[in-house]
Homo-oligomer: A and B are copies of this chain.
Amino acid sequence: MSGNSFGKLFTVTTFGESHGSALGCIVDGCPPGLELSEADLQNDLDRRKPGKSRHETQRREPDQVKILSGIFEGKTTGTPIGLLIENVDQRSKDYGNIAEQFRPAHADYAYHHKYGFRDYRGGGRSSARETAMRVAAGGIAKKFLKQRYGIEIQGYLSQLGPIKAETLDWAHIENSLFFNPDPTIETQLEDYMDALRKEGNSIGARINVIARHIPPGLGEPIFDRLDADIAHAMMSINAVKGVEIGAGFESVTQKGTEHRDELTPEGFLTNNAGGTLGGISSGQDLLVSMALKPTSSLRIPGKSINTRGEAIEVVTHGRHDPCVGIRATPIAEAMLALVLMDHMLRHRAQNMDVTTDTPIIPAQA
């Protein structure tokens, strides 16, 4: 592999499989002096953790994170932060069938052909279980960005299958079972999910994430543009098949006069750009949206082949989210936090007021 690190200056490297003994990560590059405790990270881990309602996988993982290094007297020291989460509910069961089967839409087939060999227990490394460490690491970035710069990051489910959120009630999101911002569709979502579960099927979803109070200037063109790194981050989340910034695919049918965000002394009049211009933050809210495919594990039989190339029928038993999109909300927030944190440090490195040597980006007043 060697693709398990994210970020250039605020670097997160993770390890761990679905059914191994533990998941872990190293966060390297956190500035010294940040007050940080395990409790700071637990809230988002709890938002992501499985089994919070009947609409999620029933695997029970407390996802208690331990900080193993990098903190002294309650503050970060500037040295690498080691994080660990033990797996406690990896059920022993007979994986004999799965070992030789390529489940449709799973990573089985690709992993087998890449490595000639795979840890098939619960999907191994390709399981969404690894995203717990993204959320833990992202929690550090979120805290720093909030405290130092006032940046706030919030995600929500904007669509689940055919059901769209039409209103955006920020207060409702954390009360919803689905990170749904529209109180009027909550029951509809519950009914839809119940029917889906009975059917043994799954469904796709759309997640939006917004970041507010972004200073202008973040992003390193031409390749490490802020929007490009966001696209990378979001598409690296399991099941994501599409990413949009601002108007996204609506831009295809927009004319220039419609798309361009005009400026006045009071600010931008619209936000089709979604907060980036030329790959650099403009100071407007960052608007990111992504599509997640339906969960691949289904109780409805599907055609496939085994490792010997023979036709088989696959049925997936076990515990799975009928809509992986739901729990993706805190993951998407975490990834956006990691991107912003990395770009904040990158920007700080090279851009300073020429005469005073102070960074162009100021601390929050």
Contacts and interface: CB of A to CB of B under 8 A. Distances in A.
Nearest to A159: B252
Contact of A243 (B17, B206, B242): B242
Interface string A240-251: 111111111111
Interface in A327-365: 345-360, 362-363
A158 B115 CA distance: 36
A258 to B, nearest CB: 8
B224 A260 contact: no
B80 A296 contact: no
A68 B225 contact: no
Contact of A2 (B1, B28, B250): B28
B80 A13 contact: yes
Given A106-B277, A225-B3, A244-B242, A203 B255 contact: yes
Q: What's the number of copies of this chain in the assembled complex?
A: 4
Interface string A218-253: 111111110111111111101011111111111111
Contacts of A4: 26, 28, 79-80, 221-223
B14 A222 contact: yes
Contact of A357 (B1, B105, B244, B363): B363
A252 to B, nearest CB: 4
A217 B249 CA distance: 30
A148 interface: yes
15 contacts: A1-B222, A4-B221, A5-B28, A15-B26, A78-B114, A108-B277, A109-B263, A110-B276, A228-B235, A230-B235, A244-B291, A251-B291, A258-B294, A263-B305, A264-B311
